[in-house]
Amino acid sequence: MSVLEEEVVELPSALEGQSCSLDNYLAMPDHTMDERIAEARRKLGKSTVLLGHHYQRDEVIRFADYTGDSYKLSKIAAGTEAKYLVFCGVHFMAESADVLGRDDQKVILPDLNAGCSMADMAEIGQVEACWDTLLDAGIHPDEILPITYMNSTAAIKAFCGERGGLVCTSSNARKAFEWAFARGEKILFLPDQHLGRNTAFAMGIPLDQMVVFDPYQINGGITPARLKAARIILWKGHCSVHQRFLPQHVDHVRAKYPGIQVIVHPECRWEVCQKADALGSTERLIKLVTDAPVGSMFAIGTEIHLVNRLAKEFGPKGKRIITLDDTGCLCTTMYRISPQHLAWALENLIDGRVVNQIKVRDDVKYWARVALDRMLEIHA
């Protein structure tokens, strides 16, 4: 059975009509949804909370009650009293909200196609096979702890929780690594190799003590001896947005704009992070810009919607913000959630219908909750 169970409440015949059909919404221009969304928010009141990730498009995030990165929104989801959590983000975020939320709460993802390519790079069957490979190589289960990035499925989070590991975000990855090394000698890090590499290297672990496990190669493409010797075993996964940034992009902006500060997300390649002035989570990147003096200029290596939003906000305040790559890098899956999808989901709620509910199986939810709770404890 699938980890995810989509619940679509059947419509009473008296309620059937054009307002219920998503196709009718998708045929309308974006701006025609504004008044309908605002009116739906008013009618739903405190029963519904709208969560918006920083990478979400402007036409949607402006309606959010709360905005933030994965960690911040996870905490909000765990603490809100609302009955309905409408998550304008991607699948794994909605899953985490369901895992952390109360039993009587329902999490809604306006478009089920809003996934995460990074999360999809680590399937539970592949990860279980990897674990068997590590044990066959002579690594004792007590020696190694699995850590998964927030950008992973609930099944992967549960896998880590059941084996003594935990979840991390880009803002608390180092704390998670320190927590793991206090309990074991090795870390299996999923699914983003770049965040794992950048975090371990910043802790003083040399690159030659890290290996990359490729699930599509026999034994991950690594000899048992190398697996046994490595301190960090990185999964071969990445963010399709952040991996696009290259070292030459840093060189180019520095040559074109002398004195510019380059700040990047730690999902970027190690070579890019080494050339940057600073790296950090989405929230930290925002703080660096916020706290900078007037006249500062930044080239930011992260998703283009956030960069453009910061440029618009801080331009009038005397700070210049540009993207590290002029071609622009947007999260195509996050972009799938449109004003039409949001209006459709909200107006169905008004009529008593829950569409696109994200519900994690109870057995998966238990261990995923363990892994997430460990993360929340170390970040407290």
258-273: pLDDT as tens digits:
999 999 999 999 999 9
Mean pLDDT computed over 353-369:
94
Mean pLDDT computed over 165-193:
96
Percent of all residues in the chain with a pLDDT value above 90, rounded to a whole number: 71
Task: Fold for 119-239, please state it.
Answer: Rossmann fold (3.40.50)
Q: Residue 77 — very low, low, confident or very high, per pLDDT cuts 50/70/90?
A: confident
Ramachandran bin of 313, using left for φ above 0, alpha for ψ from -120 to 50, beta for the remaining angles: alpha
- Residue 147's beta-bridge partner residues? 166, 189
Supply the mean pLDDT for the chain: 89
**pLDDT tens string 294-320:** 999 999 999 888 899 899 999 999 999
- Torsions phi, psi of 107, nearest 5? -105, 130
Mean pLDDT computed over 69-88:
84
| Fold equal for 119-239 and 242-323 | yes
Q: Find out whether 85 and 49 touch, Cβ atoms under 8 Å.
A: yes
- Torsions phi, psi of 167, nearest 5? -100, 155
pLDDT, residue 3, reads 39
Q: Name, in order, each residue with C-beta under 8 angstroms of 120's C-beta and a sequence gap of 6 or more.
A: none
Domain segments of the chain as ranges: 4-115+334-360, 119-239, 242-323
Q: Name, in order, each residue with C-beta under 8 angstroms of 309's C-beta and a sequence gap of 6 or more.
A: 54, 58
Query: Which residue in the block uniquely carries the two structure tokens 């059937």?
Result: 16
CATH superfamily of 4-115+334-360: NadA-like (3.40.50.10800)
Alpha-helix residue ranges (DSSP H) falling in the chain: 22-26, 34-44, 58-61, 70-79, 91-100, 117-120, 124-136, 154-162, 173-181, 193-202, 224-229, 247-256, 270-275, 282-291, 304-314, 339-350, 362-378
pLDDT, residue 377, reads 87
Mean pLDDT computed over 75-79:
80
- Residue 176 CA to its chain's centroid (Å): 16
Omega cis (within 30) before 191: yes
Q: Residue 210 — very low, low, confident or very high, per pLDDT cuts 50/70/90?
A: very high
pLDDT, residue 285, reads 95
Q: Find out whether 368 and 162 touch, Cβ atoms under 8 Å.
A: no
Query: Is residue 116 classed as helix, strand or coil in its secondary structure?
Result: coil
Mean pLDDT computed over 133-162:
96
Q: Find out whether 245 and 272 touch, Cβ atoms under 8 Å.
A: yes
Q: Residue 330 — very low, low, confident or very high, per pLDDT cuts 50/70/90?
A: low
**pLDDT tens string 13-48:** 333 333 468 888 988 888 889 999 999 999 999 999
Element containing residue 7 per DSSP (H, E): strand 4-7
Task: Fold for 242-323, please state it.
Answer: Rossmann fold (3.40.50)
Query: Is residue 20 classed as helix, strand or coil in its secondary structure?
Result: helix
